[in-house]
C-alpha cells in the first residue's frame, strides 16, 4: 500500500501543486513566488517520475518503461523550459501567472498519465482533462480577443468529448474492458468490424485533433497564431509530447491489429498535413502561424513514417519528434527574446532588422530554422535523414519525393522569417533581452552541438528506449 502511494508521488506532487495554485492569492506581488513554487514542485515531480519510471502510477491501468520515461522527460523538460522562459513575460505584462502554471501542471499530470496509460478509459479521461486544461489556458490568458480561439476550441472540444464517449461505449460493448491488451485481442478477432473501426477512428480523431494534424488543424493554427507567446510555446511543446506518447502507445499496444485498415488513412492524413502545412506556412504573415503550420507539416512527416508502427518506424518518428522539439524550444526561446516596447512580435514585418539589434538571438533563431529545414550541420539534418532514409528503405519513393517537394515549398515561409530578421532595415528599437533567454538559447545550442558530435545519444540510445515499448 505504502509502496503504491510512493509510486504515486509524482501525481500527488502535481495534483497538490494544482490545488495550491488554485487556492492561493492571485496578485502581482506573488508572481515570483508562484513561478518559483511551480518550478520546485515540477522538479520534484520530475525527480520522482525518473526514480519510479518503471513503476505503475496506478496499478492495473498504467505501466512505465523506458519509452514512457523518454516522453515524460520531454514533457517535463519542455514544461520546465517554458516556465523558465514565461516568468519574465508575465512580469513584463503585469499578468498573473497562476493560471498558466496551473495549466502546465494539469498538462503534466494528465499528460504523464496519458503516456503511461494502458487503459482506454484513463486515456480518454486524460484527453478530456488535457483539452479542458488547454481551454482554460486559452480562456484565461489572452490579451487580444480578435481571434475567438477559445470559442472555436470549446466547440471542437465538445465534439471531441462526444466522439470519445462514443468510442468508449462501442469498445466497451465489444470488450467488456478498457484494458489495451484486452482491446487488442478483441480487435485481432474482429478486424473487419465497422463499429469497432468507427470507435477506434473516433479515438484516433481526437488524438489527431490534439496533435493538430490536418484536416483537424484549424484550431491549432488559428489558436497558435492569435494567442500570447507563453500559450503559443505551451501548445507547440507541452501537450504535443504527451499526445504523441499516448498516440504511439495506443497504436502499438491497443489497435495494432487494425493497422491494415488504417494504413491508407494515416498515409492520406500525413500527406494532407504535409501539403497543408507547407502551403499554409507560405500563405500567412504571422510568424506564429507559420511555425504552427510548419508543425503540421512536420507532424505529417512523423505520421507518414510511423504509419506501420513497427519498431523502426516508431524509432524514426520519435527521432524526428525529438529533433523538432529541440529546434522549437530554441525558436520559442528566441521569440521570448524579441520584443519591441514590451510587445512580443507576431507579424513578419515586426521582425524586420532584428539581427542588427539582437544579433545573437537572431543568429540562433536562424540556426534553429535551418535546423527545421534539415540543413546540415544542424541537428535537424538527423530528423530529415532518419525520416527519408526510412522511406527509401521501404521503397516509398513517391512519398520521399513529395516530402522533398513540400520541404522546398515550406522553406519559402522559413526564408521569409530569416529575410525579415536579416535583410530588412531595422525600424524599431528592440528591447533588451533577459540574460535568461540567452542562457536558454545557449543550453539548447550546446545540446544540439553535443548531439551533433555524438549522434549515438539520439539515434542509438533512443532506439533502446523505444524498444522497451515492443518488449
Partner 1 sequence: MIAYTTLLLFFIGIFSSIKVGVKVDKALSFLTFASLFLVFAGFCDAMSSPVSHTFSFVWNANPESTMKFDIISNHYNYWLIFPCFILTMLSSLNGLFFRYEERRSAYISVLIFNLIALIILITSNNFVQLLSALFVVDILSVFMIKNVDAYRRYMLLNILADIVLFTVLAVINCRVASLDIRQIVLYRNIGMHQDFVALAGLTAVFAKFGFFLFQIGVMDLKKIRFHRMMNVLFLSSPLASMILLLKFNALWRTSAYFTAYLDLVCILTLVWGFLGSICADNFKAKVIYWQMSFWALFVELLRFHGFIWFSGFTFLFLEMYVICMWLYLLYYFGRRRVSMRQIKSMPLINKKEIAYILLMIIATIAALANTLTILYNNMNRYYIWTFAALFMLSLSAVLNQLLLHRNTKIISNVNEMPVKYPVFAELMLLCAFLLQDWHYAEPSVWASAVVFALLCAFNPIAKMEFVYGIDTLQNKDIFGRIYHILIKSLRLCGRFFWLLIDRIFVEKFVLALLISAINNSLRFFRRLHKSRLGGGFVAIVSLIALLYYSYYQAGGKQ
Partner 2 sequence: MTDIFPLLLLLPLLGCLFILFAKKNDNNSFHVVLFTLLSNLAVIVRLLTQINRDNNDLQSFHIAYSWLESKGIELVMDANLFSLLVLLGIYVAFIIAVVGLTPQQRKNKSQMLLGLYFVWNVTGLLCANDMVSFYIFFAGMLIPLFLLIGLYGNIKKNSTLYLFFAFNYAGILCLLTAMLFVYKYHQGNVELQDIALIKMPAGAAVVVWTSVCMAFISRIPIWPFHYWISSINSGLRSSLVYVMTNMLPLTGLYGFLRFWQITIPKGILPFVPVVEIFGIMTMLFIALIGLSHKDFLQKLFSYNTVYYLLFLLTTIMLPEAYIINIAYSLITFLIVNSSLTVLDLWAENACEENNCDYRGILAYMPRLAVIFAFFVLVAVGLPLSAMFWNNFVLISAFFRTSFTQGLLMMIAICIISTALLYELFIMRDATNKNPVIEIEDISDTKVAFLMAVIVFLFVSFFNPLWFAF
Stretch binding partner 1 (CB under 8 A), from 34-42, 124-132, 276-284, 297-305: 276-284
Give φ, ψ of 179 to 5 degrees: -70, 140
Shortest Cβ 377–partner 2 spacing (Å): 5
Among positions 346-375, residues that touch partner 2 (CB under 8 A) are 355, 359, 366, 370, 373, 375
Stretch binding partner 1 (CB under 8 A), from 40-48, 59-67, 278-286, 448-456: 278-286
* Binding-residue total with partner 1 (CB under 8 A): 29
CA-CA distance, 461 to 408, in Å (whole number)? 31
Q: What contacts 106, CB < 8 A, 6 or more positions away?
A: 18, 129, 130, 132, 133, 136
Shortest Cβ 284–partner 1 spacing (Å): 9
Does 377 sit behind a cis peptide bond, omega within 30 degrees of 0 on the bond before it?
yes
418 binds partner 2 (CB under 8 A): yes
- Closest of 466, 130, 118, 73 to residue 306, by C-alpha: 466
Stretch binding partner 2 (CB under 8 A), from 165-173, 196-204, 246-254, 380-388: 380-388
459 binds partner 2 (CB under 8 A): yes
Shortest Cβ 393–partner 2 spacing (Å): 6
- Closest of 352, 394, 396, 389 to residue 374, by C-alpha: 389
156 binds partner 1 (CB under 8 A): yes
388 binds partner 2 (CB under 8 A): yes
Find the binder of partner 1 among 28, 60, 260, 461 (CB under 8 A): 260
282 binds partner 1 (CB under 8 A): yes
Stretch binding partner 1 (CB under 8 A), from 179-187, 197-205, 332-340, 385-393: 197-205
Among positions 397-426, residues that touch partner 1 (CB under 8 A) are 409, 412
Shortest Cβ 406–partner 1 spacing (Å): 11
393 binds partner 2 (CB under 8 A): yes
CA-CA distance, 254 to 276, in Å (whole number)? 29
Q: Calculate Rg over the CA atoms of the chain.
A: 21
388 binds, among partner 1, partner 2, none (CB under 5 to 8 A by kind): partner 2
Shortest Cβ 138–partner 1 spacing (Å): 15
Find the binder of partner 2 among 9, 316, 399, 411 (CB under 8 A): 411
- Residue 59, Cβ neighbours under 10 Å: how many? 12
> What angle, rounded to 10 degrees, do the helices at 66-93 and 31-51 form?
180
Among positions 233-262, residues that touch partner 2 (CB under 8 A) are none
282 binds, among partner 1, partner 2, none (CB under 5 to 8 A by kind): partner 1
404 binds, among partner 2, partner 1, none (CB under 5 to 8 A by kind): partner 2
- Closest of 211, 360, 214, 320 to residue 275, by C-alpha: 214
CA-CA distance, 287 to 289, in Å (whole number)? 5
Shortest Cβ 367–partner 2 spacing (Å): 8
262 binds, among partner 1, partner 2, none (CB under 5 to 8 A by kind): partner 1
Specify the residue, 206 or 407, whose C-beta has the smaller distance to partner 2. Answer: 407
Torsion angle (degrees, nearest 10) of CA 234, 236, 242, 248: 180
Cross-strand partners of 344: 339
CA-CA distance, 405 to 310, in Å (whole number)? 26
157 binds partner 1 (CB under 8 A): no
Find the binder of partner 1 among 129, 172, 174, 265 (CB under 8 A): 265
Among positions 75-134, residues that touch partner 2 (CB under 8 A) are none
389 binds, among partner 1, partner 2, none (CB under 5 to 8 A by kind): partner 2
Specify the residue, 351 or 400, whose C-beta has the smaller distance to partner 2. Answer: 400
- Closest of 13, 20, 4, 71 to residue 42, by C-alpha: 13
467 binds partner 1 (CB under 8 A): no
- Residue 450, Cβ neighbours under 10 Å: how many? 13
Specify the residue, 55 or 419, whose C-beta has the smaller distance to partner 2. Answer: 419
Stretch binding partner 1 (CB under 8 A), from 6-14, 42-50, 272-280, 310-318: 272-280
Q: What contacts 123, CB < 8 A, 6 or more positions away?
A: 114, 117, 203, 246, 250
Binding site for partner 1 (CB under 8 A): 152, 156, 191-192, 194, 197-198, 201, 205, 214-216, 218, 222, 260-265, 268-269, 276, 279-280, 282-283, 409, 412
Binding site for partner 2 (CB under 8 A): 355, 359, 366, 370, 373, 375-377, 381, 384-385, 388-389, 392-393, 397, 400, 404, 407-408, 411-412, 415, 418-419, 422-423, 455-456, 459-460, 463
Amino acid at each position: 500500500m505504502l509502496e503504491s502511494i510512493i509510486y504515486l508521488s509524482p501525481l500527488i506532487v502535481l495534483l497538490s501543486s494544482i490545488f495550491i495554485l488554485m487556492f492561493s492569492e492571485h496578485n502581482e506581488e506573488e508572481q515570483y513566488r508562484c513561478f518559483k513554487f511551480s518550478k520546485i514542485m515540477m522538479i520534484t515531480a520530475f525527480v520522482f517520475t525518473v526514480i519510479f519510471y518503471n513503476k505503475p502510477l496506478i496499478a492495473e491501468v498504467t505501466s512505465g518503461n523506458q519509452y514512457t520515461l523518454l516522453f515524460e522527460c520531454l514533457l517535463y523538460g519542455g514544461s520546465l523550459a517554458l516556465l523558465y522562459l514565461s516568468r519574465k513575460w508575465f512580469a513584463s505584462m503585469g499578468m498573473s501567472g497562476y493560471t498558466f502554471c496551473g495549466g502546465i501542471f494539469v498538462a503534466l499530470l494528465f499528460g504523464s498519465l496519458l503516456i503511461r496509460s494502458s487503459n482506454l478509459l484513463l486515456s480518454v479521461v486524460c484527453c478530456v482533462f488535457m483539452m479542458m486544461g488547454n481551454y482554460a489556458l486559452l480562456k484565461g490568458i489572452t490579451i487580444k480577443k480578435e481571434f475567438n480561439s477559445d470559442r472555436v476550441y470549446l466547440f471542437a472540444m465538445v465534439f471531441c468529448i462526444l466522439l470519445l464517449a462514443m468510442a468508449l461505449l462501442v469498445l466497451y460493448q465489444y470488450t467488456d474492458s478498457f484494458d489495451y491488451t484486452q482491446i487488442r485481442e478483441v480487435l485481432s478477432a474482429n478486424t473487419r468490424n465497422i463499429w469497432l473501426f468507427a470507435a477506434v477512428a473516433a479515438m484516433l480523431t481526437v488524438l489527431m485533433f490534439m496533435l493538430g494534424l490536418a484536416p483537424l488543424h484549424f484550431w491549432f493554427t488559428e489558436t497558435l497564431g492569435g494567442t500570447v507567446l507563453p500559450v503559443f510555446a505551451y501548445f507547440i511543446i507541452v501537450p504535443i509530447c504527451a499526445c504523441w506518447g499516448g498516440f504511439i502507445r495506443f497504436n502499438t499496444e491497443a489497435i495494432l491489429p487494425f493497422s491494415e485498415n488504417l494504413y491508407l488513412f494515416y498515409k492520406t492524413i500525413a500527406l494532407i498535413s504535409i501539403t497543408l502545412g507547407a502551403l499554409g506556412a507560405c500563405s500567412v504573415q504571422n510568424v506564429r502561424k507559420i511555425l504552427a503550420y510548419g508543425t503540421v507539416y512536420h507532424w505529417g512527416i512523423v505520421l507518414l513514417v510511423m504509419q506501420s508502427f513497427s519498431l523502426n518506424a516508431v524509432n524514426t518518428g520519435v527521432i524526428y519528434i525529438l529533433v523538432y522539439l529541440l529546434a522549437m524550444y530554441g525558436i520559442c526561446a528566441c521569440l521570448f527574446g524579441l520584443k519591441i516596447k514590451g510587445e512580443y512580435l507576431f507579424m513578419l514585418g515586426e521582425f524586420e532588422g532584428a539581427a542588427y539589434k539582437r544579433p545573437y538571438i537572431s543568429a540562433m533563431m536562424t540556426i534553429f530554422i535551418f535546423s527545421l529545414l534539415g540543413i546540415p550541420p544542424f541537428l535537424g539534418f538527423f530528423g530529415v535523414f532518419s525520416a527519408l532514409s526510412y522511406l527509401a528503405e521501404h521503397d516509398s519513393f513517391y512519398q520521399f519525393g513529395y516530402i522533398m517537394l513540400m520541404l522546398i515549398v515550406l522553406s519559402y515561409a522559413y526564408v521569409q522569417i530569416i529575410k525579415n530578421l536579416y535583410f530588412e532595415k531595422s525600424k524599431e528599437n528592440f528591447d533588451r533581452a533577459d540574460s535568461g533567454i540567452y542562457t536558454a538559447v545557449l543550453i539548447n545550442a550546446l545540446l544540439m552541438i553535443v548531439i551533433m558530435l555524438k549522434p549515438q545519444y539520439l539515434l542509438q540510445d533512443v532506439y533502446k528506449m523505444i524498444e522497451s515499448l515492443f518488449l
